[in-house]
């Protein structure tokens, strides 16, 4: 075979290196940042000189700052892997990177106690008076959580009272016709929930009427996921299990400045919810976070001025910083 020609010739140190993507070349400093011509994995020796080495001029301070900010990006090379972005941490607020998980903003003991104290003090005054918070019956709590799924509490209250008034125990629910149960629950929408409650009651009744007391057993019931199982463990069995509903997730995401992909964010928020639980008081802090997220840290028009965590909230600090920026000419 003949020579492949100069276009296909590669240096020996390039043959075994991963494929590099050519970055957009810009004028020396006429509108772009100082960076190498080729993106390479961390730890790999550069094949081509950087733009600074080519032109001979020193690095700009702005470029160094840009490179420092890019360290928040974690590259994982391999098939099907994407770059994961760490949360936006604020060291001045006491948050640091966890040694166990670089994405988790670990909280020092003092900051954790302050977070817990402020949330619980707010809850003692502003907590909602809900009927399922006056019982430790796992059946009643399961009913309340299934009915509350993606439904406003004001609509759940009358249905909860009617359902428990007619079927006060798991055995009564198991013996009831499914159509009668659905006639009560279907007006809430999401019509599968009546079938879930009936099937879960049948499963418990067949097992002797003893409600599961572990996360694994609870998640084996029809319609019970991680959130519902955590709620039963926390509110009925008084275990320090995290409870992450939409309101709690929004509050934690805003307060700690979690800015990662959706898949990584779910795992990270569960870890955060577990890390802020005071020992032996999980049921209180979970209820407090749910109420604080629903009443104050709302999805639309959050009441940041009434939040007990406003001084250490990254979301509020960023919002105030944005409001102080001058308008463009």
The residues carrying an active-site annotation are 145
Strand partners, 133: none
Distance of CA 281 to the CA centre of its chain: 21
Nearest residue to 233 (alpha-carbon basis) of 283, 304, 159:
283
Q: How many CB atoms lie within 10 A of CB 310?
A: 17
Q: If DSSP codes are grouped into helix, strand and coil, which group holds residue 311?
A: helix
Cα distances from 281 to residues 120, 241, 274, 288, in angstroms, run 10, 10, 12, 11
Strand partners, 106: 96
Distance of CA 89 to the CA centre of its chain: 15
Number of H helices, E strands in the chain: 15, 4
The CA distance from 71 to 19, in Å, is 21
Cα distances from 188 to residues 151, 162, 228, in angstroms, run 7, 13, 18
The CA distance from 292 to 15, in Å, is 57
Are residues 193 and 147 in contact, defined by beta-carbon separation less than 8 angstroms? yes
* Residue partners of 247: CB distance under 8 A and separation at least 6: 289, 290, 292, 293, 294, 297
């Amino acid at each position: 075979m003949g020579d492949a020609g100069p276009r296909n010739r590669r240096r020996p140190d390039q043959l075994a290196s991963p494929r590099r993507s050519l970055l957009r070349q810009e004028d020396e400093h006429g509108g772009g940042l100082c960076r190498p011509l080729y993106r390479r994995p961390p730890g790999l020796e550069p094949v081509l000189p950087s733009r600074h080495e080519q032109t001979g001029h020193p690095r700009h301070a702005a470029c160094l700052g840009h490179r420092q900010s890019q360290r928040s990006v974690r590259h994982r090379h391999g098939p099907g892997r994407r770059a994961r972005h760490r949360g936006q941490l604020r060291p001045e607020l006491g948050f640091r990177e966890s040694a166990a998980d670089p994405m988790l903003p670990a909280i020092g003991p003092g900051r954790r106690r302050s977070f817990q104290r402020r949330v619980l003090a707010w809850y003692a005054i502003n907590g909602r008076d809900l009927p399922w918070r006056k019982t430790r019956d796992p059946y009643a709590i399961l009913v309340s959580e299934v009915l509350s799924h993606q439904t406003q509490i004001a609509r759940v209250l009358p249905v909860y009272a009617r359902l428990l008034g007619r079927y006060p125990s798991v055995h009564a629910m198991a013996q009831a016709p499914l159509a009668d149960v659905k006639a009560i629950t279907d007006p809430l929408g999401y019509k599968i929930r009546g079938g879930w409650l009936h099937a879960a009651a049948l499963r418990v009744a067949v097992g002797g009427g003893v409600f599961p007391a572990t996360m694994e057993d609870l998640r084996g019931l029809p319609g019970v996921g991680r959130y519902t199982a955590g709620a039963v463990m926390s509110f009925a069995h008084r275990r320090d299990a995290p409870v992450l509903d939409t309101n709690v997730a929004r509050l934690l995401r805003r307060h700690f400045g979690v800015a990662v992909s959706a898949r990584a964010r779910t795992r990270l928020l569960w870890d955060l919810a577990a890390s802020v639980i005071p020992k032996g008081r999980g049921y209180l802090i979970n209820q407090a976070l749910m109420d604080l997220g629903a009443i104050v840290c709302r999805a639309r028009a959050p009441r940041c001025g009434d939040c007990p965590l406003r001084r250490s909230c990254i979301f509020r600090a960023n919002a105030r910083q944005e409001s102080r920026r001058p308008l463009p000419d």
